[in-house]
Amino acid sequence: MKKMIIQGGNRLAGEVTIGGAKNSTVALIPAAILADTPVQFDTVPDILDVHNLMIILESMNVKSSFSHGVLDIDPTQIVEAELPSKAIKSLRASYYFMGALLGRFHRATLTFPGGDNIGPRPIDQHLKAFEALGATVSQNGGTVHLAAPNGLHGNRIFMDMVSVGATINAILAAVRAEGMTVIENAAREPEIVDLATFLNNMGAQIRGVGTDVIRITGVKTLQSMNTHTIIADRIETGTYLSLAAALGDGVMVNNVIPEHLEAYTSKMIEMGVNLQIDSDKIFVPPVKQLKAIHVKTMPYPGFATDLQQPLTPLMALAKGESVVVDTIYPKRVKHIAQLQKMGMKIVAGDGKIVIDHTDSAMLHGAEVEAGEIRAGASLMITGLMAQGTTVIHQADHILRGYDRVVWKLNRLNANVKIEDE
């Protein structure tokens, strides 16, 4: 594991450019194995999840190379093989290989995927979708076996709950199935639209993404003709906006899609941050005074669960009592005990997180642990705000989700480094 060492207290200024969306990338890479031609992506974030997915591709004889934000994948010599359990267990998004392998070979065997421990995230909706398309599902301990010896056939799939992962897996399995599939109560996230754009550009017939009903007419082949540019990461964007408002002397955040962040930026404006929003960039001026707010996380286009923790350090600076209710992952509280170690007045109970005003002078460096990606982001921002040295252990979690984060922070006048534990 790695640790992140932060010398806090520096004011930040300058420009930062947002990378491609992690949550698109981790679906697009498994989707690439559905293609009958080589595939190329650009603006790919340089994060650990990408390198772990490349290890999984290698196990299937799928060659890939990654340089300067461009990822080339050649699935033309793909073979069925046991996938490496270490790489599978390191990131939850590896479960997208279930849908992709089922779509390609009509069978798949995967160990139960890992990733962030942010409370229960069952895959029953994924498995229900696969069964609707004609697959049989069996589980043996931590392993899932999927098989559709007679091929996959379009069907109506109703999601009992809005699930990004299950919606994506259903698309991946249905895109080469015979006939029409209708996914109802589908998730609407921009990353799902990005995936469908990639598949449609290869000849898929997917309609309705971005709404709660998606219609897919199966096709026999998918062939890539162009490089697919991954959309900007709205969670990385929100993290830097919070950081810039908390301790910035004027920061420009480039490569932004503002409409993907409206629920988040409206809350920042409500707090008193005078965001200057352009078509593809947002300027965050120095902030004088902040008001407390209430945040309730919801499926897109509501306030993203992944952004409640990055906003927490900014809420701590606000006058009064701010409240977070996470309806998506109520147990997403790993950051709280760690932030308390740094002097933040924050508690959780009765299904909500309460953040009381904490003057930045009361924040101090400490030894803390990043329990998951976004918890790590909140510790990182607080460490930059605090006086003294903060050491974030298990910083691999941060590196899983944030593109070239040390380089980007240091260019803004932060003092951050990564070392091996």
pLDDT in tens, 179-226: 999 999 999 999 999 999 999 999 999 999 999 999 999 999 999 999
Q: What is the pLDDT of residue 300?
A: 97
Q: Is 121 annotated as a binding residue?
A: yes
Instruction: Give 5-49 pLDDT, tens digit per residue.
Output: 999 999 999 999 999 999 999 999 999 999 999 999 999 999 999
Same domain for 245 and 155, yes or no, is no
Q: Quick one: residue 141, left, alpha or beta (phi over 0 = left, psi -120 to 50 = alpha)?
A: left
Residues written for the chain: 421
* Residue 306 labelled as part of a binding site: yes
Please state the rounded mean pLDDT for residues 141-152.
91
Find out whether 374 is annotated in a ligand binding site: no
Mean pLDDT, range 151-168, rounded to an integer: 96
Q: Is 116 a catalytic residue?
A: yes
> Distance between CA 28 and CA 300 in Å, rounded?
19
pLDDT of 117 above 80? no
- pTM, to two decimals: 0.96
pLDDT at 121 over 80: no
Q: Is there a single domain that holds both residue 160 and residue 195? A: yes
Same domain, 145 and 259: no
pLDDT score of 119 more than 60: no
Q: Is 23 annotated as a binding residue?
A: yes
Which strand ranges, in their side-by-side order, compose the sheet holding 248-254?
Answer: 12-17, 248-254, 281-284, 276-277
Q: Are 217 and 298 part of one and the same domain?
A: no
In the numeric block, which tokens belong to residue 99?
């849908």
Same domain as 281, residue 171:
no
Sign of CA pseudo-dihedral 23, 393, 115, 75: positive
Q: What is the pLDDT of residues 225-241, one digit of tens each?
A: 999 999 999 999 999 99
| Confidence check: pLDDT of 115 > 80 | no
For residues 25 and 224, what is the distance between their CA atoms, to the nearest angstrom? Answer: 16
Domain count, the chain: 2
Same domain, 199 and 296: no
For residues 125 and 205, membership in a common domain is answered with yes
74 annotated as belonging to a binding site for a ligand: no
- pLDDT value of position 91: 78
| Catalytic, out of 46, 49, 74, 116 | 116
Average pLDDT over residues 88-103: 88
Could you say which of 201, 229, 257 is where a domain stops? 229
DSSP states along 63-79: EEEEETTEEEEE-TT--
Domain extent, residue 348, equals 2-19+232-420
